Structure 1
Amino acid sequence: MNDTGGEVLAGPAPAPLPPPRSLSELERLALLADTTAQLISNHDVDVSLRRVVQLVLPRLADWAVIDLITDKGDVARHLVVQAGPDGLSLREDLQGPMPPVSVASPMPLSRALRGVASNLAGPDTYQGVPDSGIAVEQRRLFQVAGIKTAAIAPIRGPHEVLGAITLGRSDRPQGFTTADLALLQDMGRRIGLALENARHFQRQRQVAETMQRYLLPQLPRLPGVEMTARYLSAPDASYVGGDWYDAFPLPFGDTALVIGDVVGHDLEAAAGMAQMRNMLRAFTWSQDRPTHHTIQHLNEAMTQITDVRMTTMILARLGLDAAGTWTLRWSSAGHPPPLLIGRDGLTRFLTEANGMFLGLPAPSPRPRTEARLTLPAQSTLVLYTDGLVESRRRPLDDGLESLRRHAASLVHRDVDDFADQLLHRVRPHDNDDDVALLVLRLPS
């Protein structure tokens, strides 16, 4: 921490400030290339902005300030970083909300935030009577930082102005030049493109997650049966969409259990998931048929009336007979097998009745089948999507083995804790897929 309470940014060991000089054309091009590389190699906007700041401090300035405009037009001083003897320090005391952008102010920051122009600013720029709240905050920055010369440029995306970047020098007498300003303008355009793309993906993610939130169901209540479900979206905003779970009572007395994954990682996959879920609900509710017949009917409809290219799923029916025995009937369309855990910790993957994925034209190259199993008392059944067990860094068999071992060790926990811990322990750290999980435990 520095004496202002700011965080010291990670980076190379502190070095003396370089002597003031203008960058050569080759150095400018190299700086722009490094800026672009940092912006496109990081999905986290905050990380990208900090790394860009590390490229320019202390090479070009003693201070870097990034002001951002939100989707609703609010302005925030998002990042203020100081270069000093101990390295780069985050000045949180100078960050925070800002007044609205003045539509008429001729002051440099207000003009930059409107996207009008880039400007150089000197010691006297903000010494007069402020004409806006933005000018008041900028004068405070100049006074606290001791800025003697500054370059201010818009952060402009392809379609909108997203903010402004200010570089300030307080410990060097040399002022910024018009060549420095042109370089800062280029950096601002690159930052704007990255920010606009990030906001686009964030909006896409929010739409998809809102859709999923409304589509993922309330679980039915079965006498003595504990049931819980989880859905985790992908870490990457662009990887969201196709996984779902479902459970609903049938008019014939059974309870339908579903886990599925529409192939794809975008809003189109989320829309396809909605189509598949609704068609499957209608088919299963209206027809008292074996699960593999329902899946085949869904496959035929899918290829004719939807744009979904490929789906994996499991459809199961949980039934209770007059003697109090619970029975599971299920069919799989290329989906990872359910896991059954006994109360004694013994485990079994239900690999029977595994057919081809959905999306193949009829007739299927391999007939679909249905499996049937009497479930032991107090046993736990886990249905999941491949994001729980698949990883770029480990074979699928290793992921399944990890799931089996952790599920056995957690089977004594209540189902909510069981589900939370299973996700925490088993889901790969390099996972780039969403995960759906459905867990139920039978009574004694």
Structure 2
Amino acid sequence: MRDPRPLRVDNMASHPHAVGFPAGHPVMTTLLGVPIRVRETVYGNLYLADKADGPFTDEDQDVVTALAGAAGVAIENARLYERLRLATEEFQRRLLPRMPHLEGLELEARYEPSTEAPRIGGDWYDVIHLSGKVPCLMGGDVMGHGLESATVMSQISNMLRVIAFDQREPPSRILSRLDEVLHELHGGPLATVQVARLEPATDGGRLMRWSCAGHLPPLLVTADHQARYLHSEVGLPLGVDPGLPRPDNEHVLPADSTVLLHTDGLVEHPAGTLEDGMRHVAQIAAAHATEPLPHLCDALLTHRRRRTFHDDVALLAARVTH
């Protein structure tokens, strides 16, 4: 172990470094040990003992050394894969913004990569502050998975920020303009997107005006432990036809209520339908309606056994505080 080179011993009992065996250990006579290594990194040692037809030979040593080399490569690849997985996940998280502090709103967001490789994709969320102190919540999901989807996601999210700030209202116009620009510059990548403005309301709540491009509806959770999806008119996803009109929707969010925007990874599962997943998520949200917002978001992500998701999850939550 101190000298990582192949070692052959014909009689272990007579070796000068022999100190005997622990109680109950089978007695061994011959030994062949080789290091498991890749270049200068040693991951362990492979030992064989008591060859049936006599001492170990040069040929045995060559074969076992090759096996240990293959094991070392497998271990090295596994470690490189784990480092790559962590790096890509960190890259994805760095593309997502930190939540700003906005008056009258509490904001919380979560990103959970797919448990299936690659752990990087096209889901995102975003919040910007428009003029007049009007928050704009945004989120979406680029079709596909992997680095290409993450690249397109970065392009769309950055472009959406600029267009939302420039166009400001209504949300349908923001999505239409985004679709037009994407067609001109990038050939119209397919993506679902949701844009929602939270304007002050007279009763202390917020008037949410939103538009969907093929995205799941917002989930409204009220302080009386009621939760329901705000099903409304939904436009086509981005990348289909930028010339078609897009609908706007509105709903008053009462004080102490929470609106959740999320991608389909939160509700999709091979064992059930999309409707089943949405119903289950709504039940969890209702049960945790009055808990601190971080606890509510965590509960939504831990409802899966072993926190297994077959697609990325982007979750954005906004609670009306006054």
What TM-score range do you get, normalising by the shorter chain?
0.7 to 0.9
| Alignment match, 2:227 | 347
- Name the TM-score, length of structure 1 as normaliser: 0.62
Match of 1:20 in 2: none
> What is the number of equivalent residue pairs in this alignment?
315
Distance 1:190 1:368 in 2: 57
Does 2:290 correspond to 1:412?
yes
Report the equivalent of 2:47. Answer: 168
Contact preservation (8 Å) 1:382, 1:437: yes
Q: Take 1:207 and 1:310, find their aligned partners in 2: how far apart are those partners?
A: 26
How far residue 253 of structure 1 moved from its aligned partner, in angstroms, is 2.9
- Say whether the 8 Å CA contact 2:188–2:238 is kept in structure 1: no
Once superposed, what is the RMSD of the aligned Cα atoms? 3.4
Q: Map residues 216-231 of structure 1 onto 2, 5 A cutoff.
A: 216-231=96-111
Distance 1:369 1:183, change over 3 A: farther
Q: Deviations over 1:172-230 (max 9, x none)?
A: 67444455445445544654554454445434434433333333222122333222111
Structure 1 position 150 matched with structure 2 position 32: yes
Corresponding residue to 1:390 among 254, 268, 274: 268
CA deviation profile, 1:63-92 (whole Å, cap 9, x unmatched): xxxxxxxxxxxxxxxxxxxxxxxxxxxxxx
Alpha carbons of 1:246 and 1:175: their partners in 2 closer, same or farther (altered >3 Å)? farther
Aligned to 1:263: 143
Structure 2 distance, partners of 1:435, 1:171, is 54
TM-score, normalising length: structure 2: 0.83
Aligned equivalent of 2:277: 399
Measure how far apart 1:344 and its partner are. 1.3
8 Å Cα contact 2:213/2:237 also seen in 1: yes
1:122 correspondence with 2:1:
no
Q: Structure 1: which amino acid aligns with 2:111?
A: Y
Contact 2:121 2:312 in 1 (8 A): yes
1:271 deviates by 2.1
Summarize the alignment of residues 195-344 of structure 1 with structure 2, pairs less than 5 Å apart: 195=75, 197-306=77-186, 309-321=189-201, 324-344=204-224
User: Secondary structure of 1:425's match?
Assistant: coil
Measured after TM superposition, the shift of residue 368 of structure 1 is 1.5
Structure with more contact order per residue of length (Cα contacts < 8 Å, sep ≥ 6):
2
Corresponding residue number in structure 2 for 1:61: none
Unaligned runs of 5+ in 1: 1-97, 100-106, 111-118, 129-138
Q: Find the residue that maps to 1:354 and give its secondary structure.
A: coil
In the alignment, structure 1 residue 422 sits paired with structure 2 residue 300: yes
Q: Classify the secondary structure of the residue corresponding to 2:303.
A: helix
Same amino acid, percent of matched pairs? 34
Distance in 2 (CA, whole Å) between partners of 1:141 and 1:271 is 60
Give the superposition deviation at 1:420.
0.9
AA aligned to 1:333 is A
Equivalents in 1 of 2:140, 2:306: separation in Å? 19
For 2:276 and 2:84, how far apart are their aligned partners in 1?
33
